[in-house]
Amino acid sequence: MLLPALSVLLLPSLLPGLVACEEEASLSSKAAGWFEKAKAFIPSSSTAAATVVSAEDVVAQPEHQSEPVVLRIVEQIQRSNYKSLLGPKATGDEEWLLYLTGGNKSCLGQCGPADSLWEESLPHLSALPQANLRLGYLNCDEQEVLCTAWHSVPPSVYHFLVPSTNPPDQKTPFRAIFINQTVATVDDIVSIPSSSQSRYLEVEEYTGVLHPFDSPLAKLYLLEPLGQLVWILGNTPSWLIMIVIRAHKSQGRSEEETVKA
């Protein structure tokens, strides 16, 4: 009976300490809660890093898109790869949009506005629900022979309907769509493919002698050599051509005089 009696006697003296401890614990828990709330407003290093990464990966997208758009690959078209990229595929048919541009040589330094339109159209083209839509880019200042062989006039968009190899020997419908930089808009480019508005159908299909795949010159592998020859003549100084012509004429005269003698 001694311990209960002692506890009763000591209870008045212990109560203030117990209350103080309880109040201290309550204040500590409240402070911890406040601290956790404050931490929520301070971005951690991992959150900041994640924000930077997402900012790099997110690209501009059309207004109606609720999710970020992953840009389609834009292939660089060159003499060394255009046949494999734009030619018939064993994996199935493809639709190609090839943007042609240039610099001071082929575009007289005037392709800047069209270049901007093409760049702005890429997110919209990437958002189209068409798996076989492919995009390409051809700089005629860097690929002068190829653009000469195709008789290209930048800025333009070339539209190819690349067939499958099965059945073989199918034609490749091709259309050249010139970009009028004074009135052209992003929608003028985005509306070209089949999955958009099929605006390519408004342009007449090209079936002439300079068709990159279906023309007799292309099938006889003469299109590129012809482009090479025209490019050489176009870049040869006029004075050198005159010297060659005069030399040829003088040689012909000397041969005639020799025959007469």
Residue 91 in any domain: the answer is: yes
CATH number assigned to the domain comprising residue 201: 3.40.30.10
**Residue 123 preceded by cis peptide, ω within 30:** no
Residue 32 in any domain: the answer is: no
Torsion of Cα atoms, 105 then 147 then 124 then 74, to 10°: -100
Q: What is the pLDDT of residues 115-163, one digit of tens each?
A: 999 999 999 999 999 999 999 999 999 999 999 999 999 999 999 999 9
Cα separation, 227 vs 235, whole angstroms: 12
Return the number of other C-beta atoms located less than 10 Å from residue 233's C-beta: 10
pTM above 0.75, yes or no: no
Domain total for the chain? 1
Q: What is the pLDDT of residues 61-79, one digit of tens each?
A: 555 556 788 999 999 999 9
Residue 29 in any domain: the answer is: no
Task: With beta carbons less than 8 A apart as the criterion, state whether 175 and 200 touch.
Answer: yes
Token reading at 23: 């109040």
Boundaries of domain holding 147: 74-235
Q: Strand 133-139 to strand 174-178: parallel, antiparallel, or no bridges (unpaired)? A: unpaired
Residue 122 in any domain: the answer is: yes
